A and B are shown apart, each in its own frame.
Chain A
Amino acid sequence: MTTVSDNRTRFVALWREKLGKLSVRQLIGLTIITILVVLGILAPYLGLSDPNQSSLDILQGASANHWFGTDALGRDVFSRVIHGIRVSVLIGLGVGVIGTVLGVPIGLIAGYARGTIDLVILQVIDLFVALPALVLALIITAIVGSTAINIALVLGFVMWPQMARLVRGQVIFIRESVYVEAARALGGKPSWIIRQHILPNAIRLVIAQFSITVAFGIFSSASLSFLGLGVPPPAPDWGTMVREGVQFLAFSPLMSIAPGAAVTLTVLGFYLLGSKDD
Chain B
Amino acid sequence: MLSHITRRILLMIPNVIAMTFLLFATVLSFLGSPAAAMLGQEASLEEIAALNKQYGFDRPIIVQYFDWIAHALQGDFGRSYTSQQSVADALLPTIPVTLELSLWAILLAVVATILFNSVPFARRVVQPITTTLAVIGITIPNFMLGICLIFIFAVKLRWLPTTGWVPWSAGVGAHLSHIILPVVTLSANYFGSFTLVYREEYKAAYRRLFIKVARAKGLSEMRVSLVHALPNAILPVVTYVGLSLGPLVGGAVVTEMVFSMPGVGRLFVSAIGAHDFPVMLAIGILVIFGVMVANLISDIVYTSINRQVSLG
| A associates with B | yes
The residues of A with any CB-CB pair to B shorter than 8 Å are 123, 127, 129-136, 138-140, 142-144, 215, 219-220, 222-223, 226-229, 239, 242, 246, 249-250, 253, 256-257, 260-261, 263-264, 267-268, 271-272, 275, 278
Indicate if B26 sits at the interface (CB-CB under 8 A).
yes
Contact with A along B110-148 (1 / 0, CB 8 A): 000000000000000000000100011011111110011
**Complex CA–CA separation, A50 to B268 (angstroms):** 36
- Chain B positions within 8 Å of A219 at CB level: 139, 141
Closest residue of chain A to B12 (Cβ to Cβ) is: A127
Closest residue of chain B to A262 (Cβ to Cβ) is: B144
On whether the beta carbons of B272 and A229 are closer than 8 Å, the reply is yes
The stretch from B41-49, B167-175, B223-231, B288-296 touching chain A is B288-296
Contact with A along B253-285 (1 / 0, CB 8 A): 110011000000000110011010000100110
On whether the beta carbons of B139 and A268 are closer than 8 Å, the reply is yes
**Complex CA–CA separation, A215 to B114 (angstroms):** 27
Closest Cβ of chain A to B62, distance in Å, is: 19
On whether the beta carbons of B254 and A261 are closer than 8 Å, the reply is no
Interface residues of B in 13-50 (CB under 8 A from A): 15, 19, 23, 26-27, 30-31
With A246-B147, A260-B141, A260-B147 already in contact, 7 other A-B pairs whose C-beta atoms are closer than 8 Å: A131-B246, A138-B253, A139-B280, A140-B26, A215-B139, A227-B257, A264-B139
On whether the beta carbons of A130 and B292 are closer than 8 Å, the reply is yes
- Chain B positions within 8 Å of A253 at CB level: 151, 155
**Complex CA–CA separation, A200 to B143 (angstroms):** 39
Closest Cβ of chain A to B36, distance in Å, is: 14
Question: Given A130-B292, A139-B284, A263-B144, do A226 and B254 touch, yes or no (CB 8 Å)?
Answer: yes
Closest Cβ of chain A to B278, distance in Å, is: 13
On whether the beta carbons of B287 and A132 are closer than 8 Å, the reply is yes
Closest Cβ of chain A to B114, distance in Å, is: 17
On whether the beta carbons of B144 and A130 are closer than 8 Å, the reply is no
Interface SS of chain B:
helix
**Complex CA–CA separation, A132 to B246 (angstroms):** 4
Q: List 6 A-B contacts (CB under 8 A).
A: A135-B284, A138-B272, A227-B269, A227-B272, A257-B147, A260-B147
The residues of B with any CB-CB pair to A shorter than 8 Å are 15, 19, 23, 26-27, 30-31, 131, 135-136, 138-144, 147-148, 150-151, 155, 196, 199-200, 242-243, 245-251, 253-254, 257-258, 268-269, 272-273, 275, 280, 283-284, 287-288, 291-292, 295
Closest Cβ of chain A to B311, distance in Å, is: 18
On whether the beta carbons of B147 and A242 are closer than 8 Å, the reply is yes
Of the candidates A129, A131, A275, the one having the most CB atoms from chain B within 10 angstroms of its own CB is A131
**Complex CA–CA separation, A144 to B30 (angstroms):** 7
- Chain B positions within 8 Å of A131 at CB level: 19, 246, 288, 291
- Chain A positions within 8 Å of B249 at CB level: 132, 134-135
On whether the beta carbons of A263 and B141 are closer than 8 Å, the reply is yes
Interface SS of chain A:
helix
Closest Cβ of chain A to B288, distance in Å, is: 6
Question: Given A127-B15, A131-B291, A227-B253, do A139 and B272 touch, yes or no (CB 8 Å)?
Answer: yes
On whether the beta carbons of B135 and A271 are closer than 8 Å, the reply is yes
Closest residue of chain A to B254 (Cβ to Cβ) is: A223
- Other-chain residue from A260, A275, A278 in contact with B143 (beta carbon distance below 8 A): A260
On whether the beta carbons of B258 and A143 are closer than 8 Å, the reply is no
- Chain A positions within 8 Å of B272 at CB level: 138-139, 142, 227-229
**Complex CA–CA separation, A140 to B30 (angstroms):** 9
On whether the beta carbons of B268 and A228 are closer than 8 Å, the reply is no
- Chain A positions within 8 Å of B199 at CB level: 278
- Other-chain residue from A138, A222, A267 in contact with B269 (beta carbon distance below 8 A): A138
Closest residue of chain A to B242 (Cβ to Cβ) is: A130
Closest Cβ of chain A to B26, distance in Å, is: 7
Closest Cβ of chain A to B257, distance in Å, is: 6
On whether the beta carbons of B26 and A249 are closer than 8 Å, the reply is no
- Chain A positions within 8 Å of B155 at CB level: 249-250, 253
Closest Cβ of chain A to B195, distance in Å, is: 10
On whether the beta carbons of B247 and A133 are closer than 8 Å, the reply is yes
On whether the beta carbons of B250 and A134 are closer than 8 Å, the reply is yes
- Chain A positions within 8 Å of B150 at CB level: 249
**Complex CA–CA separation, A142 to B27 (angstroms):** 10
**Complex CA–CA separation, A71 to B251 (angstroms):** 27
- Chain A positions within 8 Å of B19 at CB level: 127, 131
Of the candidates A127, A134, A135, A275, the one having the most CB atoms from chain B within 10 angstroms of its own CB is A135
**Complex CA–CA separation, A260 to B139 (angstroms):** 12
On whether the beta carbons of B135 and A268 are closer than 8 Å, the reply is yes
On whether the beta carbons of A256 and B147 are closer than 8 Å, the reply is yes
**Complex CA–CA separation, A256 to B248 (angstroms):** 24
- Chain B positions within 8 Å of A226 at CB level: 141, 143, 254, 257
